[in-house]
Each structure stands twice: as C-alpha cells, then as structure tokens.
Amino acid sequence: MLALHSFVIEVATALGLVKFPMNTLQEKISAEVRAFELLAAVIEQSCEWFVRMNDRKQVVIHTWDDDPRLMIDPCATVERYYKDANEHLVNYMFHDSQMVAPCVVIANDAPTCAVIDSVISLVLLADAGWPAKQTPNTLAMMRRNLRDSIRNVPHGSTVTEEDYERLKIIDELVANNAYQDALEAIGEHSRQCYTCKGWTDEEVQVHIEPYLIRIPTEEINAYLTSPNDPNDSRFIADVGLQ
C-alpha cells in the first residue's frame, strides 16, 4: 500500500510505514517490502530478539541479552539508505549504562537486493550465537564468552582496548581448536592483569574462566607440563582442572 506525500512515498511494511524518495524504483520498494516480511517471520521464530514500537509506530528489534544489549532500527536503516545513501545500519549497543552506535555496514550486494537483507543476517547471527568468523568486529562483544569475561572484571578496574584485543585473539584461538596457543595467550593475559592491574589470583581466575571451561582438560594438562611461563600454572590450573 502506497501513500504519496511531498517528495516521498510512504509504504506499508510488516514492521511499519517506511518513507522512500519519490524517484525510488518500484522494484527496489517491492524488494524491501518482501524482505521486511521475511524479517518479521525470522524474528517471530527467534528466541534471541524481541520487538518494540518507536514514536513513529515502527518496529525496532532488541536482543534479550541485557548487558550488552543490541537494538536495530530496520525502518530507519532503509529510509536513511535511500534518502542519504548512508550504508550503515541504524543500531545501538547498550553496555554499562552507556550507548554506542557500532559501525555495521550494509552488505556490498545491497544495491542489487534489499537493504533489509543485512538486518536479517544480523538477526540470524544472534540466533547462531554470534560466531566469531561471521560477526562484525564492532559487535564482537555480543559473543557470550567475551561478555562473560568482561563482566568478570573486578570492581573499580577496567578493560582497555589492548585487553579487548587480547581477549578477541583468545576467543578466536579457542574457536579454532588451537588450544595450546590459546592457553599461552591466556597465560600472558593473566600475567598482565596480575602485574599491571594489581588483580588477585582469584580475580584473574574468575576473569579467564569463560575461556578455560571451553578447553579440554587433557589440553590444559599438556600445556601445564611445560607452560610458556611458570607463573601460568597459578592462574590456569585452579580453574581449568576443577
């Protein structure tokens, strides 16, 4: 259903009315309408997302996870793309009482398909547990093991950008079953937290636990027979071999 206003066409979609410039090709509009229907169906079947209405009576989608929580505005994404040629998804991440807008770019093939396809891809990534290889780096914190590790930071301490990069490397090594390299990286990160941040042994152990519980016990035993640094055992052994 189309409604004509000055210089825009207002189109009814499964998630609300969306405004397109008057010169938008009908085939583009039809593709977006079909994609909105698919997105609505995917969200309805998902256990990771819920919907809310914004001030414009359009549906925005949120992850059930609370910290961080991701919000995507599909209608605003489409409107901004066709009006301003802005190739970024309208999305916001809420973490520790702060809001950021992660840089997530619409897929390169969007001009030949629907912009909403990129939103559908993100919804499906959440359903799949935010796999490391497919998840944009700007959304890496949505991966559960990274979130759990970052949450397990002692009160009054912080995770720096350098820490965050080390944690991402550890996550990727574990995901690729490169357990010995992962344990070496965990040991290095643990020593950094202990010496540079002043964390206690127990605080370091709680912080690294989300990674160690994903590593087979025999791999941990093998590493501890000849650790990269003798101090690694004080952090890894008590957690990984419980």
Query: By percentage, how much of the chain surpasses pLDDT 70?
Result: 86
pLDDT at 111 over 60: no
Q: State the number of CA atoms in the 13 A half-sphere of 131 facing the CB.
A: 8
Report the pLDDT value the prediction gives residue 165, as an integer from 0 to 100. 81
Parse the chain into domains and list their residue ranges: 2-128, 144-240
Mean pLDDT of 189-193: 92
Q: What is the pLDDT confidence band of residue 112, given thresholds at 50, 70 and 90?
A: low
Nearest 5°: phi and psi at 105? -95, 140
The residue written with tokens 């009814």 in the block is 12
Predicted confidence (pLDDT) at residue 12 exceeds the cutoff of 90? yes
Residues 6+ apart with CB under 8 A from 69: 62, 63, 93, 94, 95
CA distance 154 to 112: 48
Angstrom CA distances, 136 to 37, 89, 122, stand at 25, 12, 9
User: Average per-residue pLDDT in the chain?
Assistant: 85
Q: Is the pLDDT of residue 66 over 80?
A: no
Provide the whole-model pTM.
0.61
Secondary structure (3-state) at 102:
coil
Per-residue pLDDT, 108: 66
Asked whether the predicted pLDDT for residue 129 surpasses 90, the reply is: no
- pLDDT category of residue 1 using cuts at 50, 70 and 90: low
